[in-house]
Structure 1
Amino acid sequence: MIVNAYSRAKSINACMPPYAFYNGCINQGKNAMEIELKLLLAQDDAPLFAEHPLLAACSSAPPQLQALHDIYVDTPDLHLARHRAGLRVRQVGSDWLQTLKAGGDTSGGLHRRHEWEGPVAGPVPEIDALLVLVKRREPVRALLRQNEVSGALQTIFTTRIARAVWQLTTPEGDAIECVLDQGVIEANGASTPVCEVELELKAGRSASLFDVALALQQQVPLRLGQINKAERGYRLAFPALAGAPRPEKAAALTLDEAMSLEQAFVQIAGNCLQQISANADGVVDHAEEESLHQMRVGVRRLRSALGMFAPLLALPDELQRELSWLSDALGAARDWDVLAGATLEQIKGEVEADMLAPLVTAAQERARQAHADTGAALAGARYTALMLGLQRWLHARAWRSACTRRQLRRLDKAAPGFARRTLGKSQRRLLRRGKGLDQAAPEQRHRVRIAAKKARYATTFFGSLLRPRRVRAYERDLGRLQDVLGGLNDLEVADGLLQTLAGGEPALAPQAGYVRGYLAARAQAGAARIDKAWRRINGARLPY
């Protein structure tokens, strides 16, 4: 039964994150890279998870039950946390173990951190013992040796966890430790509950983490966990840190000229997934407008990257459909945000308040509802399955099974040549679509805007392989064209949304009609600015 479920999960997304190449065997020791997938579940679903048939089928023994007491320490000014490090002392029975974690990254619930651990005599860290484990060239070593750390550590928060541990072996032979944690984080008299699952790779392929998660998720509602217990503990101890998550723009992307084209794609796609997943909590838990916008940008970047590489590899149809679903869900909310917070806001003082105010109120209500709908969608099983599937596809490099020999040979070639050809193709498509742009209809302007956006994404993706000064100049020219065309597109979208408001609330029809006419006049004036932006693109030098 479990083999079938596991196989179904694999077949859904028939490979490796951008940040590391870990398809080989992972051996965890006292000094290791911890690779784990964190998943959240409701407390009421914990018994259902513990009875999941996969756990019994893939483990040779009942779960090991542990009572854990963790003490997390830092300096009064949070010196460790500010340097992206965490230090705890854990009691298991009568034994104590200290663990230092530092560096790494998080994307789509997958957490990678350097980890050093060893026994200690009691509930107090032993810095000298840690220094024995940390290699001399590791940056965290210098951090530990600073007097403000070793002489000033104090308890920041504690956790008390009831843990169940299953040692899983997949049908392919991968070793995964599956942990169900239930308990509480405590700090300064306050507490917050914990109910989460961790799948930690002990040996084998990182893609197997997603296979197991997909199989588990078929029966138990799970949600990707973007922050760990340490981060939650710091936020509990210092409420000022517990505000809405900051919107995350795309991280800087650096490709190496020696990379193969396939390795470059893995880096690019993983960078997009990281931007998507980093903004999910801001959308789900806080209805953050900018988080939603950045998440939508991440989706657009990913779809653009998939289009660029389409001649060489293909995302499975099911994942393509689900990615389109996510794009549509984010797009609907974003359109109402722009109408309420930008388009109508810009004409305050130019349009009579009694005409504008009812439309702003109605648009804001539509935006709130759209955010609620989008947040509910991202908190559900469909989004979780999509992100697990995309990560699994990337980790396993699952496209290779469908590639021809010629495609595989091209994927093995160096990336710079492909980068130059892609930018040249993007520029030619943009110039072709932009002929007669100053007199173009909105449909043509929209196609030009999309072409400009794709050219800019391509330039950003491959910028580290190109000439930096030319890259900046070309991106600046593309950005100016995008701004002009984007503003006109916002007015077109606003026209349709105002019609929707009037159709749903007939009392708003007079105001909507008046403002639509006003925005149409602004669009005509805005079209006059296209020519200057287009001339710069027409004469632009490609950045190579």
Structure 2
Amino acid sequence: MTREIELKLALAEGQGIKLVETALLGGFREGRADHGTIRDSYFDTAEQHLIQRGVGIRIRDRDDGRRIQSAKSSGQGFSGLHDRQEWESPVSELRPDLSLLPDWLFESTQQRQQIDQQLAPVFTIEFERYTWQIEYADASIEAVLDQGNIRSGELHDTINEIELELKSGDSEALFDLAADLSEKLQLRFENQDKASRGYQLTQQIRLEPEPLQFPALPEQGNLEDFIELIFSAVLNNWQHNELCWQRARRADERAADLQFIKLEQAHLAHWDIDTATPGHEQRLALSFIQMTRALETLMTLLQVMKEPIAEPLRVEISRPLGNLLHALQPLSRLLQTEIRIQGMGHRTPVSLTPVLNLLESRKFSVLRQAMRALSDNSHNRFVLKLGKLLHQRHWRGRLNQIQLKPLLQPTAEWASQQLDTHWSLLSKEMEQADDCHSWLMLDHRIHELLLLCQTSGSLLSDGCSDFIASVQLLQGHMDQLHYLEIILAGYEGLDASEARAEIGDWLSHQQGGTLHDLVTLKQKLFSRKPFWQLPIA
């Protein structure tokens, strides 16, 4: 068994061997690439016993006549970095030999035999491989360019990717080399390996947008565990939804003419952002919204983690993240407002069609702004920096042992202190809030409190769910104020008419109702002690 550590990078369409070789020859190595043709055949049972155990198995036919069986664990992936176990053995037949795999992958010898009898080809991957051996920053790295196709029956998907595999040295060199290459090539990070893409193709599984879910924290964990687990969850969710958006957009070339986010009212009348199964147009919109929400959560995390994360690094991350959010948030908020309007259209006593038409015209400019930000190479370099931070624990900065002490603080102790501080500040400011503007000024504090509750609440009390639900409802009312603010901006652009007057009356009524709901919820929250201040049963 060996440990495989590699960074996967997807190349933009049209970029091939000449551009890659030019980039690699720019100071990284001398000489041309080794070239070979590879055919991989992947095997599993009809019930997919192997992949369900986190193992993909293939037989590789090389153009030199050799045949190699490889089995790989699913491993870990973020920012294109894959860290997994691999078992390789030469074989003579185009059929896997499960006796070459470790016993612990199977529950019993009988199960191994049963799976062996049911194995059949699932899909094939055929590609041209170009290989370079590179010495970079005291590390030995194998760089490969793979170009070809994944095939399952009549279905196929294209491959055009670079893999940087660490042979010796520090894995940090993979990120640094990728950063250098991204100056010359249009790259994005690929968290899915070829096997995962092959299984998705075979089952015709489409990536779906996903809301952010926080992992359970270890009861005895410290602040470093919190940073690593929560940051990983946020960053993986961001990349999943960005990839979902990219693929949905690529599947429909009409997206390029800026019409891809025109949503039909009939499709959205009962559609919920967080729970519905979307169609194509909704998938594009929803993946963009969830991607932006993950980025907003990342910014909130950085605000909450002011003390434990080294200041220079926090500033270094916050600035490009703020620029990215500045480019994406206007489109995300317009999409959410459009979904909200069309979702409640059948319950609204006035027609909001004139407002929708104005919002639609404004959408084009903010879409162009978002597209520029996501297609710029600096975007991928930023993701790369975050991946390197997480992998190498760079949030420590240049801290000495005394300065590192706060990072070793128990998560529950830190979270309780933070919740006290944030709740005290928010409570005082909520007491003063009396109109839409003053409530909207509290948005960031509510985000921070909710994040702390959702990530660490269960560590402090089993009875945290009611309080968290109230804060979520509070955030929902704040979102409603944001939607109404955007509708108001559209309303103010309407010409004077009877319809405009009706919309104005409706807006005033909606704002008044939302403010009333906020005051009622504030009184409910103030009427009891928060869960972290209650005595432990």
TM range (shorter): 0.7 to 0.9
Query: Does the C-alpha gap of structure 1 residues 525 and 81 become closer, same or farther in structure 2, counting only changes over 3 Å?
Result: same
Partner of residue 8, structure 2: 38
Per the alignment, residue 289 of structure 1 pairs with 285
Tell me, yes or no, if the aligned pair for 1:433 and 1:447 is still in contact at 8 Å. Answer: no
Q: Which residue of 2 aligns with 1:89?
A: 59
Q: Tell me which residue corresponds to 1:456.
A: 450
* Equivalent residue pairs, number: 495
AA at the equivalent of 2:229: Q
Q: Sort the Cα spacing of 1:470 and 1:145 in 2 relative to 1 into closer, same or farther, 3 A.
A: same
Query: Residues of 1 paired with 2:108 and 2:382: CA distance?
Result: 41
- Aligned 8 A contact 1:55 1:168 in 2: no
Q: Do 1:226 and 1:281's aligned partners in 2 also have CA atoms closer than 8 Å?
A: no
Relative to structure 1, the CA distance from residue 43 to residue 294 in structure 2 (aligned partners, 3 Å threshold; closer, same or farther) is closer
**One-letter amino acid of the counterpart of residue 408, structure 1:** L
- Quote the residue 1:386 is aligned against: 382
Equivalent positions of 1:482-497 (< 5 A) are 482-497=475-490
1:255 matched residue in structure 2: 217
2 CA distance for matches of 1:323 and 1:480?
27
**Distance in 1, Cα, partners of 2:66 & 2:200:** 28
Structure 1 gaps, min length 5: 1-29
Deviation at 1:53, TM superposition (A): 5.3
Structure 1 residues 341-420: aligned runs within 5 Å: 341-353=339-351, 356-364=352-360, 366-367=362-363, 370=366, 374-375=370-371, 377-403=373-399, 406-420=402-416
CA contact (8 A) 1:97 1:119 kept: yes
Question: Residues 119 and 536 of structure 1: is their aligned pair in 2 closer, same or farther, counting only changes over 3 Å?
Answer: farther
Deviation by residue 1:483-526 (Cα, 9 ceiling, x = unmatched): 22322232123212444xx2xxx669875564244212211122
Q: Corresponding residue for 1:206?
A: 171
- Across the aligned residues of Structure 1 and Structure 2, the Cα RMSD in angstroms comes to 2.9
Partners of 2:501 and 2:146 in 1: CA distance? 57
1:478 to 468, 471, 479: 471
| Conserved 8 A contact 1:165-1:177 | yes
1:518 to 506, 509, 515: 506
Identity percentage over the alignment?
24
**Cα distance change, pair 44–349 in 1 and its aligned pair in 2 (3 A):** closer
State the 1:192 CA deviation.
3.1
SS of the residue corresponding to residue 15 of structure 2 reads helix
**Bigger CA drift: 42-51 or 277-286?**
42-51
One of 6, 10, 21 as aligned partner of 1:51: 21
Give the whole-Å Cα distance in 2 for the aligned partners of 1:403 and 1:428: 30
CA contact (8 A) 2:68 2:89 kept: yes
Secondary structure class of the residue paired with 2:464: helix
Please tell me the residue identity of whatever aligns with 1:394: L
Within a 5 Å distance, the mapping from 1:326-341 to structure 2 comes to: 326-341=324-339
Unmatched runs of 5 consecutive residues or more in structure 2: 250-283
Pick closer, same or farther for the CA change 1:45–1:369 going to 2, 3 Å.
Answer: same
The letter for the 1-side match of 2:511 is: A
What residue identity is the alignment partner of 2:198?
G
How far did residue 395 of structure 1 move?
2.5
TM-score by length of 1: 0.82
Preserved contact between residue 104 and residue 112 of structure 1 (Cα < 8 Å): yes
Q: What per-residue deviation string (whole Å, max 9, x for no partner) do you get for residues 259-281 of structure 1?
A: 44234322222221111111102
Q: Does the CA contact (< 8 Å) of 1:248 and 1:279 recur in 2?
A: yes
* 1:205 partner SS: coil
Question: Corresponding residue for 2:262?
Answer: none
CA offsets 1:366-425 (integer angstroms, 9 cap, x no match): 557755653553243132111011212333333434547653232233333212111111
Counterpart code for 1:335 = R
Deviation at 1:202, TM superposition (A): 3.0
DSSP 3-state at the match of 1:151: helix
Matched, 1:169 2:135: yes
SS at match of 2:173: helix
TM-score (normalizing by structure 2): 0.83
Corresponding position: 1:233 with 2:198: yes
Name the residue aligned to 2:274: none
Native 8 Å contact 2:129 2:145 kept in 1? yes
1:207-222 correspondence to structure 2 within 5 Å: 207-222=172-187
Q: Which residue of 2 aligns with 1:8?
A: none
> 2:117 matched to which residue of 1?
151
8 A contact 2:126–2:150 mirrored in 1:
yes
Q: Which has the higher contact order (CA 8 A, sep 6+)?
A: 1
What is the match of residue 521 of structure 2? 533
Q: CA deviation at 1:448?
A: 2.9
Shift of 1:473: 2.5
Among 321, 324, 330, which residue is 1:323 paired with? 321
CA contact (8 A) 1:474 1:540 kept: no
1:95-154 CA-to-partner distances (Å, cap 9, x unmatched) read 211122233333232233333222222211011122xxx252x5x666993565321221
* Contact 2:214-2:230 at 8 Å conserved across structures: no
Q: Is the 8 A contact 2:20 2:185 kept in 1?
A: no
- Confirm or deny: 8 A CA contact 1:127 1:144 kept in the other structure: no
* Separation in 1, partners of 2:504, 2:217: 46
Q: Which residue of 1 aligns with 2:149?
A: 184
> CA separation of 1:537/1:450 partners in 2, compared to 1, >3 Å: closer, same or farther?
farther
Distance in 1, matches of 2:97 and 2:388, equals 39
SS state of the match for residue 46, structure 2? coil
- Asked if 2 retains the 8 angstrom alpha-carbon contact of 1:73 and 1:154, the reply is yes
1:182 is paired with a residue whose SS is: strand
Aligned AA (1:310): K
The 2-side partners of 1:189 and 1:347 are apart by: 42
SS class of match (1:307): helix
From 422, 430, 441, the equivalent of 2:426 is 430
